[in-house]
Chains A and B, each alone.
Chain A
Amino acid sequence: MRASRKSHLMRLALACLLTMFLGAALPTRAEEGPTEYQIKAAFLVNFANFTTWPDSAYFDATAPLVIGVLGEDPFNGYLDAAESKTIASDRRMHIVRGKTLGDLPVCHILFIGASEEKNLPGYVEQLSGRAVLTIGDTPDACRDGAMICFFSEANKIRFRVNLEVIEKSPLRLDPRVLKLGRALEGGQK
């Protein structure tokens, strides 16, 4: 247990170094701080950590957590780093990409990029009641039925949560995350 924690620390340190290396190597829009999708990639991993999937969501005990990126991949490779990470349930993460939902295997987290915004409601409908955390890249995605959607505020990346949808799913989001997330305003149930 302790050894595993140690290895986690090692990996954390390694990730930090990698992040710094990448940050230094890759061109950035703002010289200070990480880029938007760098943060969003990290947030994706964070959501994986703060969400509980039912055991039935996995094929077996060693099955990885699959993150699907639907549409055009905006992460510019930043998300790949997540493949080297494990989540709290000690599962590896696996990134899959596809243009349509049909292109993808069963995912645990489905990132629906801005390019698939118009198809989002259909996907959500399709995945309703399934153990898939749906994350939209646009501020209105939640209104369309995504569980979580990113938006920018005061030059910071923030997210909303669609509690209604989440409650309908078998997923359990950490209340701390729920607290951070802006509840969907307006006519959302």
Chain B
Amino acid sequence: MKLPYSAHKRTWSVEAWFSSVSLKRKITMLIVFVTLIAVSLTYVAFMVYDNRVAKEQLVIRMTTLAELIGDNCVASLSFMDSEDAIRTLSSLDAERDIEEAALWDAKGGIFASYQKKQGGRVPTLLPDGHYFADKYLTVTRTVILNGEAVGHILIRTNLNQLASRQRQYGLIATLLSLIALGIAAILASKYQAVISKPIVSLAKVARSVSEQRDYSLRAEKLGNDEVGYLIDSFNNMLAEIQQRDTDLLSAQAALSDRAKELQLELLERQRAERATAAMRTFLQNVIDSMPSMLIAVDTAGRVTQWNSQAERVTGVSRDEALARQLSDVFPFFEASIGAIEAAIATNEAQKRERVHTEVEGESRVRDIVIYPLITDTSQGAVIRVDDVTDRTRMEELMTQTEKMMSVGGLAAGMAHEINNPLGIILQSAQNIKRRVSKSIPKNVEVAQRINVSLEELSTYMKERGIYDFLQDIDEAGKRAAAIVSNMLNFSRKSETDRSSFNIESLLDTAVQLAANDYDLKKKFDFRGIRIVRDYAPNMPPVPCIATKLEQVFLNLLKNAAHALADSHSGDQPQITLRTRVAKKQARIEIEDNGPGMSAEIRRRIFEPFFTTKEVGTGTGLGLSVSYFIIVDNHHGTIEVESEPNQGARFVITLPFSGE
């Protein structure tokens, strides 16, 4: 079986065990241990000493005995009376432990001997002295009479008495030692308290202090020794700690009050900061929500504010723009630097309206307002840039619409008034032609009656070109009637025949009509023009009056064809037809790559009778009629986008809803 590592490694040591024992037991054990050592040493010393003393005593006793016996034998020796000597020696029978004795005369001859046990051998003579050997003590003395050696005596005793005495004393000593140990243990356990009690009570107090954290406790002082001093020191320390605790508590309370105040302050500040941040965010959001570009610059022209609209328009992010030169970030402002400086210098707002710029091929119109910005810390300018392209266009459109409507109303009223006299003129011219005709009997009858030959009259009129005049009157009258008829359309609300039609098929029909409507006199060949169709897929049908829309498309195609005919650029003439779906509206574009037109012409192009063509080439009403058809009849819009030499694009939008 293998022991676990820890158990295997664990070694029992006295020091470790002893250090874990309580003080009381420690003192008790120490005292008992010391007593044990002392008693043991005493025991051993006593036994050794007693052994020696006993031996010495034995030697002295035996020597004395030998001398006594010897003395008793002096006369025997002197008078050579060995029997008497033997009798004397035999008196040693009384001595239990004496085994044998012998007497020699002065010459060393054996004189008398005594043996307790029979069969013993006569011992050999030894010089004076005592000899411990083999559990026996042998003592020899010279017997002296009157200063002369008269013989030698030997006494040999066993050591039984010594041993028994040793045993007895050993027993007694052991008993005494045990008693002493017992008494020591009892006394130690009783009186260890003298030492341990103050320490234990101190330890108890110390434990209470450490467990309860009650520094008001005090250890009881029981004496003026070192422990007493220790207890005094401990109590002083406790008092000091208590004092410190009290101080600490008050300091803590003060600190906690201060902390609360600070926390309140902090909360207040945080609230204020949040409010500020919210306000800042709110302001930034406000600024960002502005459809205008809002840009702030400092006096050196560096960007300090750049809102979302500015990011959108310029494509430069706020982070990129900040602290850079405005003209670097957005070259558009190069022309306005002077104005910015002027605003800062004069402290007056500077305005630049309707600034035209070309952005990615698209003409944009912007209003720039530069406000001087004076704050506590800095100076600069805030620049507001509004893209007014759409608004400008709308304004133009509105103006045009109003103009067109007033002109249309005027023209329609005029046409209405002209229509009657024109009818009379045409009627009359028709009548003149009819009244000189031979095929009408009434004319023949009246001619015969006044005796005029109708053939001669006809010849005359032919000769004088009267028929040609009449023909001219008729033609001009008819043209005027057509114009009037068109003009009347300006104000006529025709709601008939409105139903949904496919815009693409209407466009295709218009292209076919235009292709057939070539005119030698007008010098253009529609078939030489490339027609590009760019139709949106899934274009829903548009509610409209088909013939009217066809007429509009035809007008625009013819207009484009005329423009292309006038073009002298080498490009292949091309008309692009484009349809798109946009915001619940159908968007139709008719675009040519012809010479284009100036802004002057563009603004007036839909006005009645406005034409760039030579007199007689057009009525000047085609685009006006188209305008009214789209705007008035179909509630749509028609615009033209064009620049000189850039072609022209007519854009029509028609609502899908029909209203």
State the A residues within 8 Å of B (CB). Answer: 4-5, 8-9, 11-12, 16, 39, 43, 46, 49-50, 86-88, 156-159, 174, 176-177, 179-180
B145 at the binding interface (Cβ < 8 Å) = yes
The residue of chain B having its C-beta at the shortest distance from the C-beta of A43 within the complex is: B79
Contact with A along B403-440 (1 / 0, CB 8 A): 00000000000000000000000000000000000000
Whether A9 and B147, one on each chain, are in contact in the complex, defined by CB atoms closer than 8 angstroms, is: yes
Q: Which of A11, A43, A159 contacts B148 (CB 8 A)?
A: A11
Known contacts A8-B148, A9-B149; decide if A180 and B107 are in contact (CB<8 Å).
no
Whether A50 and B78, one on each chain, are in contact in the complex, defined by CB atoms closer than 8 angstroms, is: yes
B639 at the binding interface (Cβ < 8 Å) = no
Tell me, in angstroms, the Cα distance from A16 to B150 when the chains sit together: 11
Contact with A along B145-165 (1 / 0, CB 8 A): 111110000000000000000
- CB neighbours of A50 from chain B (8 A): 75, 78
Tell me the interface secondary structure of chain B in the complex: mixed
Instruction: Tell me the smallest distance from the CB of A169 to a CB of chain B, in Å.
Output: 20
Tell me, in angstroms, the Cα distance from A11 to B72 when the chains sit together: 24
Tell me, in angstroms, the Cα distance from A156 to B80 when the chains sit together: 9
Whether A39 and B80, one on each chain, are in contact in the complex, defined by CB atoms closer than 8 angstroms, is: yes
- CB neighbours of A16 from chain B (8 A): 106-107
Whether B147 and A49, one on each chain, are in contact in the complex, defined by CB atoms closer than 8 angstroms, is: no
Please give 8 more A-B residue pairs, beta carbons under 8 A apart, in addition to A88-B145, A88-B146.
A5-B147, A16-B107, A43-B79, A46-B75, A49-B145, A156-B80, A179-B84, A180-B76
Instruction: Tell me the smallest distance from the CB of B256 to a CB of chain A, in Å.
Output: 106
B74 at the binding interface (Cβ < 8 Å) = yes
Residue with the highest number of chain B CB atoms closer than 10 Å, among A9, A46, A88: A46
Known contacts A16-B107, A39-B80; decide if A180 and B75 are in contact (CB<8 Å).
yes
Contact with A along B69-91 (1 / 0, CB 8 A): 00010111011110010000000
Known contacts A176-B72, A176-B74, A179-B84; decide if A8 and B79 are in contact (CB<8 Å).
no
- CB neighbours of B74 from chain A (8 A): 176
- CB neighbours of A8 from chain B (8 A): 146-148
- Docked complex: B44-92 residues within 8 A CB-CB of A: 72, 74-76, 78-81, 84
What are 10 pairs between A and B in contact, CB < 8 Å? A4-B147, A5-B147, A8-B147, A16-B107, A46-B75, A46-B79, A49-B145, A88-B146, A159-B79, A179-B75
- CB neighbours of B84 from chain A (8 A): 179-180
Instruction: Tell me the smallest distance from the CB of B68 to a CB of chain A, in Å.
Output: 12
The residue of chain A having its C-beta at the shortest distance from the C-beta of B78 within the complex is: A46
Contact with A along B121-159 (1 / 0, CB 8 A): 000000000000000000000001111110000000000
Tell me, in angstroms, the Cα distance from A69 to B307 when the chains sit together: 176
Q: Which of A12, A39, A156, A177 contacts B106 (CB 8 A)?
A: A12
- CB neighbours of B76 from chain A (8 A): 176, 180
Instruction: Tell me the smallest distance from the CB of B257 to a CB of chain A, in Å.
Output: 110
Tell me, in angstroms, the Cα distance from A4 to B148 when the chains sit together: 10
Whether B149 and A180, one on each chain, are in contact in the complex, defined by CB atoms closer than 8 angstroms, is: no
The residue of chain A having its C-beta at the shortest distance from the C-beta of B71 within the complex is: A176
Whether A180 and B81, one on each chain, are in contact in the complex, defined by CB atoms closer than 8 angstroms, is: yes
Whether B81 and A87, one on each chain, are in contact in the complex, defined by CB atoms closer than 8 angstroms, is: no
Instruction: Tell me the smallest distance from the CB of B625 to a CB of chain A, in Å.
Output: 186
